[in-house]
Amino acid sequence: MAEPSSDRHLFLNRELSWLAFNERVLAEARNGSLPLHERTKFLAIVAGNLDEFFMVRVAGLRQQAQGGLVELPADGMLPGELLAAISERAHQMVNDQYAVWTRELLPLLAANGLQVLSRENLQPEQKAAARSWFQSNVFPALTPLAVDPGHPFPHLRNKSLNVAIVVRRSGQRRKKDAGESSLAVVQVPAVLPRLVPLPSTSGSAFLLLEELILLHASDLFPGYAVEQAAAFRLTRNWDLDIDEEDSQDLLASIQQELRRRDRGAVVRLELDAAVSQTIESQLRAALKLSPGDVYRVPGPLQLQDLTAISEPAVISNADSMVQIIGQKDLLLHHPYESFDPVVRFLDEAADDPNVLAIKQTLYRTTGDSPVARALVRASENGKQVAVLVELKARLDEANNIAWARRMEENGVHVVYGLIGLKTHCKVTLVVRREGNGIRRYVHLGTGNYNSATARLFTARTELADDVSALFNLLTGYSTQPNWKRLAVAPTTLHTKVLELIERETARARKGEPARIQAKMNSLVDPVVIRALYAASQAGVDVDLLVRGICCLRPGVPGLSEKIRVVSVVDRFLEHTRAFAFGVGPQTDVFMSSADWMPRNFHRRVEVMAPIEDPQLKQRVLDEVLGLGLRDNVKARQLESDGTYVPVPLQLDGQAVRSQMVALETARRVGQAPAEPVIRHVAAPIDKPPAVPGSTP
């Protein structure tokens, strides 16, 4: 064994330095100025980093310590003393990690309508739903494994979640002799979702899969009573040992080593902090671990899985859009987030053999429209494609006519809307064969099919029903349906907006909290404006982001002193139209293709759709509405005399430029476009065929 270097004081230890880095990452999870999803992301990074650290670095040090073959680092620390130092630092880090989760992030999730429940605090309705889920989805996949002289301790995969259960035969009296009890292990199926949804009176509620199994542990052992039960997780030596020079087939050697390393020695055991000493002792003995290798945690194991309930959806090229949308609603905030997912959604649908039909409205197109290209290809691939092209879209008539003709020539069913009405709504419906039935995927936009608007993707049944009915109305003979979730102009949208304003007005008159927030391009409709005045007089807080025309006069004593109007004109041309009515959990959030103008309410086909996913609702409130209302760099506030004045800085002097904050947020979560789109219409690259008599 090499002697420690005499100049060891010149160097910091590599492993301890790495742990110090991970502590700095953990500090970001504590940073209260970051969004909740970013804080949970940093917590996940810490957990994943520790997994890898134990699987490779700690495992290697243990091999050195046990084998006596030591390669001293420059700092000269011996494997034994280094392992002791790592254990002390790592235990403290895990304690700090779970302190952030339990004291800070878990309460914040609950405040944002996302509850992670334990089996002890379920309501009767939730218990019934949990039992139904367990019996239908989980119980058939479980394999209880006894641990006794005839059944050796099972081999458990690296980083797998498991449940340890101590049972005794029913009817036996419990004696001091521990031999009366038996240990069993149940592996938590990795193929099932970690988060089990449960009913909730507000927001969303989840139960961890291992908690669900623990709740019903007695079902797994008929004739036995469950004395104790706890979840645990183990980490194995996962390092590869490949001699590349002696390997004739490197690929085969690596595949063989990958299979072998799942038999690696266990280097860490994670346990519920409340677990009994009996279970810990039995597990340590079976896995050949010392007390220092055990990490008791006061919270869920494998925190990486839990970040999914708070983080915004990030589009991975590895997943198809229908897979993503099928799992959860998706909101894209353009131009700050990439427009690529919209194009991918149509490109994939055009080539997907299971897609039966695509229906879409097109109000404006660019000369080189990837959307129109995808629709043409879908028709060529034998799908039913129906497109409503609005020929009366101002300044885009020639483009729309050219694309309409090109699509018709390629077998697309092209219609031109309802007589006397412009079709201004932005809607796509993809009908896909799945299993023994079909599923419909909906895309709703607040502006045109370009990259300067907000978009919602969903597969919710009632919204899909409404969108199907809308296309039947636009393309064929159909009476006005009874809309389930959509408000549609020219029939129900105006009435719905007035009803929502009146609801907040009534709340304020009762002394209840009431608020209206809205973002749009223009506010002109006199009936809506009068309703907003009445809301202000009743005490409703009204905050409006109106980029362009605003006919409402804010700040007039006795009329509109509770109304604030802000206009943000900055680098990007936005077309987001989003509305929120209510305070706290009672807030209803909508996105729409319509401004609050007479033409939108009465002379156009428009839609307003509710945003029902709690995460996306909060995101609209924070990033679309709240951020714009906090802008004090590019925002101008409308005065009662019709002038616009700069919004003053906050008391803390912090400058907020909303568009740059939104762009930076998109970059941090990997959704920003490579080149932010500033122009309203991209320069054409491949023009559609020219229409005779049209201007080139």
In a domain? residue 666: no
* Sheet strand arrangement including 426-434: 330-333, 454-458, 437-445, 426-434, 355-362, 384-389, 413-415
Domain count, the chain: 4
pLDDT at 695: 29
Last residue of a domain, one of 94, 112, 130: 112
pLDDT at 388: 87
| b/e per residue 595-613 (b: at least 16 CB within 10 A) | bbbebbbeebbbbbbbbbb
Amino acid identity, residue 685?
A: I
Are both 180 and 86 inside the same structural domain? no
Last residue of a domain, one of 286, 310, 334: 310
Percentage of the chain exceeding pLDDT 90: 40
Tokens of 663: 């762009």
Task: Give alpha helix (H) positions in 163-307.
Answer: 209-215, 250-261, 277-287
Domain of 551, in residue numbers: 487-656
Query: What secondary structure letter does DSSP report for 523?
Result: B
In a domain? residue 665: no
Are both 148 and 279 inside the same structural domain? yes
- Number of Cβ within 10 Å of residue 169's Cβ equals 12
Are both 29 and 102 inside the same structural domain? yes
pLDDT at 451: 44
Q: What is the mean pLDDT of the segment spanning 560-584?
A: 88
Are both 157 and 72 inside the same structural domain? no
pLDDT at 266: 92
Are both 365 and 457 inside the same structural domain? yes
pLDDT tier, 678 (very low <50, low <70, confident <90, very high otherwise): very low
User: What does the CA dihedral 525, 528, 530, 533 come to, rounded to 10 degrees?
Assistant: -120
In a domain? residue 672: no
User: Is residue 370 pLDDT above 60, yes or no?
Assistant: yes
User: Is residue 500 pLDDT above 80, yes or no?
Assistant: yes
Last residue of a domain, one of 285, 310, 335: 310
Which residue reads 């194009």 in tokens? 343
User: Is residue 693 pLDDT above 60, yes or no?
Assistant: no
Distance CA(88)–CA(311), nearest Å, equals: 32
Going by C-alpha positions, the residue among 463, 541, 470, 547 that lies closest to residue 501 is 541
pLDDT tier, 393 (very low <50, low <70, confident <90, very high otherwise): low
Q: Tens digits of per-residue pLDDT, 257-312?
A: 555 555 688 999 999 998 889 899 999 999 999 999 999 999 999 988 877 666 55
- Number of Cβ within 10 Å of residue 364's Cβ equals 20
pLDDT tier, 369 (very low <50, low <70, confident <90, very high otherwise): confident
Are both 128 and 18 inside the same structural domain? no
Query: What secondary structure letter does DSSP report for 499?
Result: H
Which residues share a beta bridge with 596?
Answer: 523
pLDDT tier, 176 (very low <50, low <70, confident <90, very high otherwise): very low
Are both 210 and 351 inside the same structural domain? no
Tokens of 529: 């404006």
The CATH number of the domain holding residue 532 is 3.30.870.10
- Which of 152-156, 439-443, 497-501, 676-680 has the largest mean confidence? 497-501
Are both 103 and 139 inside the same structural domain? no
Instruction: Compute the residue count for the chain.
Output: 696
pLDDT at 688: 31
In a domain? residue 670: no
Are both 181 and 301 inside the same structural domain? yes
Q: Tens digits of per-residue pLDDT, 220-265?
A: 998 889 999 999 999 998 775 545 445 444 345 444 555 555 568 8
pLDDT at 56: 86
The CATH number of the domain holding residue 52 is 1.20.58.310
In a domain? residue 127: yes
Q: What is the mean pLDDT of the segment spanning 656-680?
A: 65
Are both 517 and 455 inside the same structural domain? no
Distance CA(36)–CA(307), nearest Å, equals: 10
Query: How is 2-25 classified by DSSP, letter by letter?
Result: PPPPTTGGG---HHHHHHHHHHHH
Catalytic residue, chosen from 37, 216, 334, 424, is: 424
User: Is residue 449 pLDDT above 80, yes or no?
Assistant: no
pLDDT at 683: 25
Are both 397 and 432 inside the same structural domain? yes
In a domain? residue 682: no
Q: What is the mean pLDDT of the segment spanning 641-652?
A: 80
CA distances from 675 to 347, 425, 659, 671 (A): 21, 27, 15, 12
Lowest mean pLDDT among 274-278, 393-397, 505-509, 648-652: 393-397
pLDDT at 241: 56
Q: What is the mean pLDDT of the segment spanning 331-347?
A: 82
CA distances from 131 to 136, 191, 196 (A): 8, 19, 11
Distance CA(679)–CA(658), nearest Å, equals: 19
Which residue reads 């054409």 in tokens? 684
Query: Is 9 one of the catalytic residues?
Result: no
The CATH number of the domain holding residue 254 is 3.30.1840.10
In a domain? residue 482: no
pLDDT at 371: 83
Q: What is the mean pLDDT of the segment spanning 52-73?
A: 83
pTM: 0.58
Lowest mean pLDDT among 63-77, 142-156, 191-205: 63-77
Lowest mean pLDDT among 105-109, 439-443, 632-636: 632-636
Name the more confident of 302 and 4. 302
Are both 169 and 303 inside the same structural domain? yes
User: Is residue 113 pLDDT above 90, yes or no?
Assistant: no
- Compute the half-sphere exposure of residue 290: CA atoms within 13 Å on the CB side of its CA: 5
In a domain? residue 674: no
Name the more confident of 177 and 30. 30
Distance CA(266)–CA(293), nearest Å, equals: 9
| Averaged pLDDT score across all residues of the chain | 83
